[in-house]
Amino acid sequence: MRTLIDRRGFTLALGLLAGAAALPAAGHADEADMAKAKAEGKVVWYTSTPIEQANKLAKLFEQQSGIKVELFRSGGSAILRRFNQEASAGRIAADVLTTSDPAASNMMAEQGLFVAFKPKDFDKIPETAKDKDGNWIGQRLNLITIYMRGDKVPEAERPKKWTDLTAKTFDKKLVMTDPSFTSLQLSVVGTLSEKLGWDYYKQLAGNDVMVVQGNQQVSDNLKRGERLIAVGALDSYAAEDRASGHDIVTVYPADGTFVIPSPTAVVKGGPNPEAAKAFAAFMISEAAQKIFPADGGYAARSDVDPPAGSPKVSDLVIIPVDYAALEKKAAEVKDEFNAIFR
């Protein structure tokens, strides 16, 4: 398995893949031609999946199939930027694309960049976590919460809602990710700015919020004690840190938790089309899906239990995300956020 990591923060630039013929969506379970997939010998995977999980998935697939995984991992916006630049230039290098940006995935599906593919267990993925025609399938569910150092933030002072974070109590204690780098934060900022207004983010800026690239940096920041509270960060990092012995407390905000799927798509025109289908089918297999709760995250499959000690998604207050609206205003959201925090 070859891993390439690019940490540059790019912005989303969607490109068109010209000249690719559309494949019809299947109304039944599709299958990869495994003889051809093995002959292709590898699959090229562009992903924003946390690096340890990505490596586990790649290793398991290699063990099960004998097909090598060439992995390029970065932040969601960086992955999309690289893919779309290549597509615009007519050079398709990726076979499978996994991000955490349903809005961008919907737009790319409309542009005909993906192969419609409904593998075995497609019906185990909830409707809200997949494209109905199979253009993309949720790899996992991302819970975006507020989490903090339990040993440094007394229980009586812990925020209960998103709006609590604007209190001066939290001045110089907050850290958050950058929506220009992390697709998950783009969904959060795009939604909360609409729900609460940009004044909400101006008030957070008044509390001297530290903005870092991605969720790993948020986790590291809290463990070092540089900041104490993560604002709208990926909760699987908090669960992983708890499992490692850190006193990290998650708050599922009373005014709503974000639950965002990570779309996985088979790229049209990719160099290894059958290996791509095999890998996409593997991604929603029970064995692959169980990796996520084992690491403190949530599987996309409805028949896989949540991580130990964590609530079921159905028991949470969930903030809906209007992905259709978000795909139209993504650039505007990033520009407004940058104007406030930079």
Q: Which two tokens stand for residue 236?
A: 């699987």
Q: What's the pLDDT tens digit per position in 256-307? A: 999 999 999 999 999 999 999 999 999 999 999 999 999 999 999 999 999 9
- Residue 4: which pLDDT band, with cuts at 50, 70 and 90? very low
Q: Where residue 118 sits, what CATH number does that domain have? A: 3.40.190.10
CA-to-CA dists, residue 38 to 206, 255, 276, 303, angstroms:
56, 49, 11, 30
76 falls within a domain = yes
Residue 77 is predicted with a pLDDT of 83
* pLDDT for residue 194 is more than 60: yes
The 3-class secondary structure across 248-263, one letter per residue, is EEEECCCCCEEEEEEE
Query: By residue range, what is the domain housing residue 246?
Result: 142-258+316-341
Same domain, 203 and 155: yes
Write the DSSP symbol of residue 6: -
Q: Are residues 266 and 253 in the same domain?
A: no
How many domains would you assign to the chain?
2
Q: What is the 3-state secondary structure (H, E, C) of 183-194?
A: HHHHHHHHHHHH
If asked whether residues 18 and 115 sit together in one domain, one would say yes
CA Rg, the chain, in Å? 20
Are 87 and 112 within one domain?
A: yes
* CB crowding 27-36: b at 16 or more within 10 Å, else e: eeebebebee
Both 219 and 336 in one domain: the answer is: yes
Percent above pLDDT 90 for the chain: 85
Query: Among residues 236, 262, 291, 270, which one has the least CA distance to residue 45?
Result: 270
Residues 236 and 276 in one domain: no
**pLDDT band (50, 70, 90) for residue 309:** confident
152 occurs within a structural domain: yes
- 8 Å CB contact between 116 and 110: no
Task: List the helix and strand counts (H, then E) for the chain.
Answer: 12, 12
pLDDT tens digits, 172-192: 999 999 999 988 999 999 999
Same domain (yes/no): 50, 63: yes
| Whether residue 136 sits in one domain with residue 20 | yes
Distance CA(192)–CA(277), nearest Å, equals 36
Note whether 27 and 126 are same-domain residues: yes
| Within-domain flag for 75 | yes
Mean pLDDT of the chain: 90
Residue 311 lies in a domain: no
Residue 170 placed within a domain: yes
| Cα dihedral: 104, 44, 58, 127 (round 10) | 30
198 near 166, Cβ under 8 Å? no
The rounded distance, in Å, linking the Cα atoms of 123 and 144 is 25
Total-model pTM: 0.86
Which residue's structure tokens are 């949540």? 306
CA-wise closest residue to 104 among 75, 127, 143, 124: 75
Same domain for 228 and 320, yes or no, is yes
Q: Are residues 201 and 243 in the same domain?
A: yes
Which segments within 22-136 are labelled E, that is strand? Answer: 42-47, 68-73, 96-98, 114-115
Residues 126 and 189 in one domain: no
